[in-house]
Chains A and B, each alone.
Chain A
Amino acid sequence: DAGVIQSPRHEVTEMGQEVTLRCKPISGHDYLFWYRQTMMRGLELLIYFNNNVPIDDSGMPEDRFSAKMPNASFSTLKIQPSEPRDSAVYFCASRDRGLAEAFFGQGTRLTVV
C-alpha cells in the first residue's frame, strides 16, 4: 500500500479563493482524520470520519471550513473563502479499527496570501 496520499503537497492561493485539499486513506481503514499544524497551535484535530460518516467536527474553526467523505477512498477539506490565517500544514490520517495507531500523509502546505 502506498500509504495515505494527500494532494496537492503545496498550495499557494490568494485570500478569498476557495481551496480544496484531498486525501486518499489507506485501503480498508475505517477512520479518517484531518489535522492542522501551525507553529502557534501545534497539531489540531479538525474533524474525523468513521465509515465515511463525520463523527466529531468540533475542531473545525469556522463555517468557512467543510469536509466530506463521499466514499471510503476519498475525502476533501474545503476552505471557502480562504484567509491568510488559514496558512498551515494540513494532514490527513487514517486508521484501521483493529489498530491503535493512525497513519499520516505527507501533508499539504497551504499558504494564503
Chain B
Amino acid sequence: AQSVTQLDSHVSVSEGTPVLLRCNYSSSYSPSLFWYVQHPNKGLQLLLKYTSAATLVKGINGFEAEFKKSETSFHLTKPSAHMSDAAEYFCVVTPNSGGYQKVTFGTGTKLQVIP
C-alpha cells in the first residue's frame, strides 16, 4: 500500500522569498517520488524526480527536493519565488520495484506568489 500527503492545500509567499511545499509519503516498496506542476488550464509538467539515487534532487526552474527516508518526506523548495511559479503542485509516489505501476497523487498544493 502507498499514500502521499501534501500538508498544505494553499501556500502564499511574496515574490523573492523562499518556497516550501511539504509532502509526506508511505510506501510498502522502495518508492520513486516526483513533483509535478500544473499551471491553470494546462497539463501536468514534471519538475523533478527521485528514483533511489542522490537524495537531493534538482529540477527545472530552480526547484529542488530532498528525499528523507527517516522522515518519509519529500519537500519541494525554491530559494526565491517568481511570479511565474504560481500554480498547483502535486507530489506523486510510485513503487520503485518492477511490475506494479500504480501511481498515487497527492491532493495538490496551490502556490500563490504575491508581488
A contact residues vs B (CB 8 Å cutoff): 4, 31, 33, 42-43, 45, 48, 50, 55-56, 91, 93, 95, 100-107, 109
Q: Are A31 and B101 in contact (CB under 8 A)?
A: yes
Interface pairs A-B: 7 shortest CB-CB: A104-B44, A43-B105, A104-B43, A100-B32, A106-B43, A100-B51, A42-B107
Q: Are B101 and A50 in contact (CB under 8 A)?
A: yes
Closest Cβ of chain B to A55, distance in Å, is 7
Q: Are B108 and A101 in contact (CB under 8 A)?
A: no
B56 CB–A CB distance under 8 Å: no
Q: Give Cα A109 to B41, complex, Å.
A: 9
New contact pairs (11) apart from A101-B32, A103-B46, A109-B41, CB-CB < 8 Å: A33-B103, A43-B90, A43-B108, A45-B103, A55-B101, A93-B44, A95-B101, A100-B49, A104-B36, A107-B42, A107-B43
29 A-B pairs, CB-CB below 8 angstroms?
A31-B101, A33-B103, A42-B105, A42-B107, A42-B108, A43-B105, A43-B108, A45-B102, A45-B103, A48-B101, A48-B102, A50-B101, A55-B101, A91-B44, A95-B101, A100-B51, A100-B94, A101-B32, A101-B34, A101-B49, A103-B46, A104-B36, A104-B43, A104-B45, A105-B43, A106-B42, A107-B42, A107-B43, A109-B41
Q: Give Cα A28 to B94, complex, Å.
A: 21
B77 CB–A CB distance under 8 Å: no
Select the residue from B32, B34, B43, B107 with max chain A CB neighbours within 10 A: B43
Residue of B nearest to A91 (CB): B43
Q: Give Cα A107 to B101, complex, Å.
A: 21
Taking CB atoms and an 8 Å cut-off, the chain B residues in 29-52 that contact chain A are 32, 34, 36, 41-46, 49, 51
Q: Are B102 and A102 in contact (CB under 8 A)?
A: no
Q: Are B103 and A102 in contact (CB under 8 A)?
A: yes
B96 CB–A CB distance under 8 Å: yes
With A43-B90, A100-B49 known as contacts, the answer to whether A56 contacts B43 (CB < 8 A) is: no
Q: Are B34 and A100 in contact (CB under 8 A)?
A: yes
